[in-house]
Chains A and B, each alone.
Chain A
Amino acid sequence: MILDGWTVGLTVGGGMLLLPVLHGSLVGGRILRRWDATSSDAAQLRLERQEELVALGLDVALGLLLLQTLLFVLLLDRLADLLVGAMCATGVVRASSFGLPALLAKGGTLLALAVWRALFRADRLVGGFPNARPRAKVLLFLVLPLVGLDFALQTAFFFDLQPDQVTSCCAVAFRLAPSKTQELLDGLSPGRTLGLFAGGLALLLATGSTARTRALRGGPAARRSGWLFAAAALLFVFLFLVAVTALFGGYVYGSPAHRCPFCMLRGAPAWLGWPTYGLLLAGASAAIGGATLAQAWPRDEEGAVIRTLARRRFGKALLYQLLAAAGIAAPALLWQLSTGVAISG
């Protein structure tokens, strides 16, 4: 176990983050049992008013979660000092089997909250919580388990790590030469990586523009293309990270062997990690939010407002992810322009 001010602080704060989500889930359970939009009795009125508190609580939870994710990444970097062989966050994440799942759980929680928030945004626009039940389900069956899982994994991670534990640094984890051991990303040539990345981009553009066009029309086709785009955006997050570790990282750091996805979060060059990963995740959550909106517009008469909103979300998602792609590929492209040597070679 690693006990220090940071791990204790993150555990306490993370526990607090559970509270608004738990409260929301309690109200959510009541909504699933008793919600009746046509009724105007006192119980229904209470539920409607409690919904406002739940929404505010989840806003606070989102703020805390973003702060926690930021601090968690900073902590990973800090802990590198304590582990043998870890030069940066990569080594720390690899030092425990809970490391990567804890990071993924944070990302998953952010995306789950994006679904809830999209539904709530629709309710806000239309008024009167037409999506109260779907939202309660999302909260109970998606957000709550993920927030709990995130907290459990993070705590398990802190307990599992040992000071002086031997781990490996990013240079070993993402090394260039093909190795017999089970290192990541063996045999992914620059050409193939570039192909995958470009394919992901093309898929993103195709599904994104389709989703945008169809969003205004509504109907099952719009729903389908919304989810297709959301899936493409998630896939692109994965391809993006693969491309960083297999190809682009080397150009970002200006050293072919150094392709760690974490090192660009700790300063040079230009803290490139924060804006690109931030845009990537914001894009993915906008895509999921848009798909949710396209799925769940409540009534036909107010549908237009929400369809417009869904369309705007799709546009944002596309823009954010393209910007992230441009940001990460820029050093490689600049290198190719200045040297004339193809990066795919």
Chain B
Amino acid sequence: MKLPPRVEGHLALVDRAVGSLLRGWARALPEVLVFTLVIFLCGSLLFTTDGLRLLADQTLAASPELIVQRVIGGRAVPIPLTHAARLSDHPAVRRVRPRVWGSFYDATRQDTYTLMSYLPGEGPPPGARILEQTLRLDALGADEVLVGRGYAREEGLRPGDEVILTDSTGRPRIFRLAGLFTAATDLWTHDLVLVQEPALRELLGLAPGEASDLVVDLHAPEEQEAVASRLAGLLPDCRVLTRDGLRRGYHSAFGWKSGAAMGILAVLLLAFATLVWSRAAGPSQQESKEIGVLRAVGWQVREVLLLQLWRGTLVALLAYALGVLGAFLHVFRFEAVLLRPLLAGWTSLYPRFDLPPSAPGGTLLLLLFCSWGPYVCALLLPAWRTALVDPERVLRGLA
């Protein structure tokens, strides 16, 4: 195959760069290792936030457009079902469903768990698998419960085991564990205990004419912000949460954490750049000789500089590939074990990072941008000494 001379020229430079890196691999090794580590950490962070966002989106996709809570004195209180009737009359509203749910505090484990009842019509999106066992949500027995994996692990529960919950008067009630939620729904089901509504009302002490909150489906989901403000006007004692608002909340929470962590990494990166800088601060005698010889046999300054640039780019790309691969395995295979202390913290159970594996092109490009860029810039600036090597002095042995 015949390539244009420019491409051939670059190929020859790459070839030389590879050769010299292989010959001097021991010198390049520390740089590759440190750089790989930095990319590994940045990549782990970005992949984790991407994974969390994806998880949030997947789970929110099945959740209602609006949630209406009654708030008195800043505290959420049960909402009368008459409110539901008033909302149903609004033309933008397609359907209103009361929900029964609450949380309870386990004094022995010092953990808070969420109790919920199954809401007819509120199911997983078609095809999504939210339960580990094959059973129908609406066919749950009156004394059967489903729990999230976090709760099951903390309590050491398996399907078929007894689950003991205390009701609002302090009496223990015994249920049977029918099944577990899947890892894909972890973000929302991790600490969840799903109970049938009558039993749950007893556990929570909720009167028949009341619900914990109302979920509202709309005819036009994209109008949810506008409808939300109108419904809030209709019911002055209530606040209306939107699905988009929840998504924003989650995204910005993930984003904020990863941003703060990236800031720390940026400092690391600069420290690394300084290291490269000091290493590359001037060509060694051997490098000087190589440059002098190349210049004497007819290489231009720019060709010698390009050779340096290629050398740096190869180091950067190698470290990039290793770092990205490592980060991918770290986050999606080993549950981001090194980042957990940093990103953890919505409930004491969370997180177990069983994130859906994904590596969006944009994130890969961003990693390339903030890794290759600083590395090559840090490498280029000291290269001015290389540019200044005078072949005549080298050949006379003066350099």
Contacts and interface: CB of A to CB of B under 8 A. Distances in A.
* Direct A/B contact, Cβ within 8 angstroms: yes
Contact of A64 (B373, B381, B388): B373
B377 A5 contact: no
Contact of A71 (B254, B256, B362, B377): B362
A68 interface: yes
B309 A13 contact: no
Contact of B266 (A12, A19, A53, A84): A12
Listed residue (B252, B367, B368, B388) with the most chain A CB atoms within 10 angstroms of its CB: B252
B163 interface: no
Interface stretch (B280-288, B299-307, B324-332): B299-307
Contacts of B370: 9-10, 12-13, 16
A74 B362 contact: yes
Contact of B369 (A23, A71, A78): A71
Given A2-B255, A3-B260, A64 B302 contact: no
A172 to B, nearest CB: 12
A119 to B, nearest CB: 16
B366 interface: yes
A3 B380 contact: no
B225 to A, nearest CB: 6
A81 B369 contact: no
Question: Which of A16, A19, A78 has the most B CB atoms < 10 Å from its CB?
Answer: A16
Nearest to A165: B248
A13 B362 contact: no
Contacts of B42: 5, 9
A8 B255 CA distance: 10
Interface in B345-399: 362, 365-370, 373-374, 376-377, 380-381, 383-384, 387-388, 390
A5 B244 contact: no
A52 B305 contact: yes
Question: From DSSP, what is the main secondary structure of chain B's interface residues?
Answer: helix
A300 interface: no
Nearest to B303: A52
Contacts of A163: 248, 252, 255
Contacts of B244: 84
A130 B255 CA distance: 50
Among B247, B256, B261, residue most surrounded by chain A Cβ atoms (within 10 Å)? B256
Most buried by B among A5, A19, A20, A83: A5
Contacts of A7: 259
Given A13-B374, A19-B377, A8 B259 contact: yes
B320 to A, nearest CB: 13
Interface string B241-270: 000110110011011101111110010010
Contacts, number: 136
B193 interface: no
Contact of A60 (B255, B368, B377): B377
A85 B225 contact: yes
Interface residues of B, number: 48
B302 A5 contact: no
Interface string A154-190: 0000000001100000000000000000000000000
Contact of B374 (A16, A45, A71, A84): A16
A123 B262 CA distance: 42
Contact of A70 (B225, B266, B300, B365): B365
A131 to B, nearest CB: 16
Interface string A189-233: 000000000000000000000000000000000000000000000
B187 interface: no
A5 B248 contact: no
Given A20-B377, A52-B302, A52-B305, A5 B362 contact: no
B248 A53 contact: no
B66 interface: no
Contacts of A87: 222
Contacts of B46: 5, 9
A12 B45 CA distance: 16
Contacts of A78: 362
A320 B60 CA distance: 44
Given A52-B301, A53-B380, A71-B365, A17 B373 contact: yes
A250 interface: no
Nearest to B308: A56
A343 interface: no
B196 interface: no
A55 B247 contact: no
Given A19-B377, A53-B387, A56-B305, A9 B366 contact: yes
Interface of B: 42, 45-46, 49, 53, 222, 225, 244-245, 247-248, 251-252, 254-256, 258-263, 266, 269, 300-302, 305-306, 309, 362, 365-370, 373-374, 376-377, 380-381, 383-384, 387-388, 390
28 contacts: A3-B255, A3-B256, A3-B263, A4-B255, A5-B42, A5-B45, A5-B49, A5-B255, A5-B261, A6-B255, A7-B259, A8-B262, A8-B266, A16-B370, A53-B301, A53-B387, A56-B306, A56-B380, A60-B309, A60-B376, A67-B365, A67-B373, A68-B369, A71-B369, A84-B248, A163-B248, A163-B255, A164-B248
Given A8-B263, A56-B306, 6 more contacts: A13-B370, A16-B374, A19-B377, A60-B376, A67-B373, A71-B366
Closest 6 CB pairs of A and B: A4-B255, A3-B259, A8-B262, A163-B252, A5-B258, A4-B259
